[in-house]
Amino acid sequence: MMTETTRPTFKTLSVIMPVYNERATVAEMIRRMRAVELPLILQVVAVDDGSSDGSDKVLGALEDSTVRVITHKENQGKGAAIRTGLEAATGDLILIQDADLEYDPDDWPKLLDPILKGKAEVVFGSRFTGERKNMLPLHWFANRILSFTTNLLYQSTLSDMETCYKVFTAKAIEGLTIVSNRFDFEPEITAKVLRRGHRIYEVPISYAGREPSEGKKITWRDGFTALAALIRFRFTKDY
């Protein structure tokens, strides 16, 4: 575990971006990512998860020395796409980024700061402590319940377990086995880093939530799946 007096040296940030039918937003997201000023080399691993809207073609046109594109022939789910991205990532730091513009890469420096200063090995961006476009009431309620359950089961104090913005040192998740294929990736990775003894550092982030009519993919059913995952991974031996 790092202490606040430790100032580790990191060279590369690997950003894993799962993409599923985000043709309208993915090019703009990559533009925003490239525009962020970082004290690190940027590696983007974009995993097209069986898109049927031409997202793969957009990504193919944007691929270069910074952006690597990996394609799933069939849709497997967000967790499966992130798992593929993790296998390809070579950075000292790992950041998860959605492709839908709900999360703004301008927040990356805030997310990275605690790690670069040696204060943490895992950082989450909280949508409930920063500027945001209000999410749908059902999603707000589900997020609060899931964060409360996480804190109860794992003795943590998180305000936003389900956030997309999760940053890890490569060492913190080295050897970690991820089995979730869908949105239950969020509770699984949270549960397993907490069980490893990492205290998760939260920073406020901005958030511009989408409506289902705008392409929002997560549903109320995923909330029950996440709840079950939190309970399952609390007692599983594999972490």
pTM listed for this prediction: 0.88
Local confidence pLDDT in tens for the 239 residues of the chain: 555 556 778 999 999 999 999 999 999 999 999 999 999 999 999 999 999 999 999 999 999 999 999 999 999 999 999 999 999 999 999 999 999 999 999 999 999 999 999 999 999 999 988 666 566 666 778 888 999 999 999 999 999 999 999 999 999 999 999 999 988 999 999 999 999 999 999 999 999 875 654 555 566 576 788 889 999 999 876 65
- The domain limits of the chain are 12-233
CA separation for the pair 236, 61 (Å, rounded): 42
- Res 1: pLDDT: 53
CA separation for the pair 187, 150 (Å, rounded): 8
CA separation for the pair 70, 108 (Å, rounded): 23
Beta-bridge partner residues of 47: 18, 70
- Res 35: pLDDT: 97
**Is the domain 12-233 a CATH 3.30.450.70 member?**
no
Torsion of CA 202, 120, 84, 224, to 10 degrees: -40
- For the chain, the 3-state helix, strand and coil shares in percent, each to the nearest 5, are 35, 20, 45
Q: Residue 63 — φ and ψ, nearest 5°?
A: -65, 135
CA separation for the pair 66, 194 (Å, rounded): 31
CA 195 to chain centre: 18
CA 172 to chain centre: 15
- Res 181: pLDDT: 92
- Give the tokens for residue 233: 């991974």
Kindly tell me the number of DSSP H helices and DSSP E strands found in the chain.
Answer: 7, 9
Helix (H, G, I), strand (E, B) or coil at 215: coil
CA separation for the pair 216, 219 (Å, rounded): 8
- Res 239: pLDDT: 54
- Res 236: pLDDT: 79
- Res 142: pLDDT: 83
Beta-bridge partner residues of 167: 95, 123
Q: Which residues of 18-43 are buried (b: 16+ CB within 10 A; e: fewer)?
A: bbbbbbbbbbebbebbeebeeebebb
C-alpha angle 159/42/58, rounded to 5°?
90
- 3-state SS, one letter per residue, for 13-44: EEEEEEECCCCCCHHHHHHHHHHCCCCCEEEE
